Amino acid sequence: MKMFSVGIDIGGTNTAIGIVDEAGNVVVKGGIDTPSHGDAERYVKEMGASVKDMAKKLKLTNPDSEILGIGIGAPNGNYYSGTIEYAPNLSFKGIVHLVELMRAEFPEYQYVALTNDANAAAIGEMVYGGAKGMKNFVMYTLGTGVGSGVVVNGDLVYGHDGFAGECGHTTLIPGGRVCGCGAHGHLEAYCSAPGMKRTAFELLAYYNASDSLLADKSFNELSSKMIYEAAVKGDKVALEVFEKTGQYLGQGLADTVHHLSPEAIFLFGGPTAAGDYIFKPLRESLEAHLLPIFKNKIKILPSELSAGDAAIVGASALVWKEQDK
């Protein structure tokens, strides 16, 4: 009997769904729109129908297959309660009892588990990726925001209420930029993709750099990929964006090291594709901010999860983690 798990990643616009084998390969892939209608029960029915259709496809190619369970990554997903709580970018208001609703759809599955998307990525790295065999590490996800998942002694840290590990909301610069959460100066306001755009516009204004490759871009048009492409061409502003972002991130990661002393910190997300443009200043900044007892000990590594399927694979890994308990 071949064992599989279902991974579901709930985003603000799309819900990605995949069936994953024990090696982390996505064998069936699909998804649905994340609705704007705000009816959670109707949404779970739609999601359940998609999973059931994909399970039928799996049986056609793997007649001896069995699906062990469903893992779900979602904004503000609470592992302990199985609920999504007041997610700002979803249409479902208040507290949604997602695991309870999914169990009603799939009583035959042994496990249904939920956590937030960054925690799911950390578990995916531990089960399938570069953190195999590691007992103490941290995963940072760099995208629209800055998320993180913390693993200590082989277990994800959820805290007393299920919401531990919000390292992206460490205060980096008191009174600094407004973060997406409404507070000031958080790491996320500087090291997310929108944070990099803000840095670019600050530098364009500071240098009055009308000759920069970024100078004619609007804020909505500009992306971290465009900044990278300009940096490759030697653009002064773009290169400094990566330098500053690496410095900010190194400072924030130093706090994480001082709190947790992890073996490694993994980075996942669009900006990490820039390679040494961000990793070099990041490592230099990290070492500059560390206590001597931590210097030259901490590995800073890119995630080994496939970018296209990472969210699905990470969520599916929740099932194998549940099985190990």
Tens digits of per-residue pLDDT, 122-140?
A: 999 999 999 999 999 999 9
Mean pLDDT of the chain: 95
Give Cα separations from 95 to 42, 115, 192 (angstroms): 15, 14, 27
What is the reported pTM? 0.93
Going by pLDDT thresholds of 50, 70 and 90, the confidence category of residue 270 is confident
Contacts of residue 141, Cβ cutoff 8 Å, sequence gap at least 6: 117, 118, 121, 147, 148, 149, 268, 269
Q: Provide the H-helix boundaries in 129-167.
A: none
What pLDDT, in 10s, does the model give residues 77-124? 999 999 999 988 899 999 999 999 999 999 999 999 999 989 999 999
Question: What pLDDT does residue 1 have?
Answer: 87
Give Cα separations from 78 to 36, 97, 107, 114, 143 (angstroms): 21, 10, 21, 7, 21
Beta strand pairing call for 2-10 and 14-21: antiparallel
d(CA 12, CA 220) in angstroms, rounded, equals 18
Cβ pair 258, 291 in contact under 8 A: yes
pLDDT beyond 90 at 324: no
| Residue in 115, 121, 122, 44 with CA at minimum distance from that of residue 77 | 115
Question: What pLDDT does residue 144 have?
Answer: 87
